[in-house]
Amino acid sequence: MDTKPEKNPETPWRLTAGRLLAGFALVFCVPVGVLFVSVATGTVGIVLGIAGYALGARTSGLLAVALCMMAMFVGLLVGQGVIPGEAYDRLVDGWFRDKLTAHFAND
């Protein structure tokens, strides 16, 4: 049982798929998790990181899980006002809502 993952002919696609899943979690889920107050995005990033780790991308999968977890907590703390800063949800609150009806409200 001394076979390394790089020597097995079936593992290159698994390693590539794992890196892609973990990379997507790092590129998409971490920034969105910090900007929006959304637990679902952080959860998707954690699941993608775990899948990447299971497919062989150990370092990037572990990094994706850790950063998505931290981004989820930072996003929740900023959204609640515990950490100073403006969450994206509060910044644009009412802007999009009033944009569609403002044209019809003017008489």
Kindly indicate the confidence band of residue 67, based on its pLDDT and cuts at 50, 70 and 90.
very high
Percent of the chain past pLDDT 90, that is, above it, reads 33
In Å, how far are 19, 48, 67, 84, 95 from 28, measured between CA atoms? 14, 11, 11, 24, 24
State the average pLDDT over residues 39-67: 92
Distance, in Å, from the CA atom of 21 to the CA atom of 95, rounded to the nearest integer, reads 34
Least confident of 9-23, 56-70, 76-90, 91-105: 91-105
The pLDDT value recorded for residue 12 is 85
**pLDDT over 90 at 105, yes or no:** no
Say what the pTM is. Answer: 0.69
* Cβ atoms of 37 and 52 closer than 8 Å: no
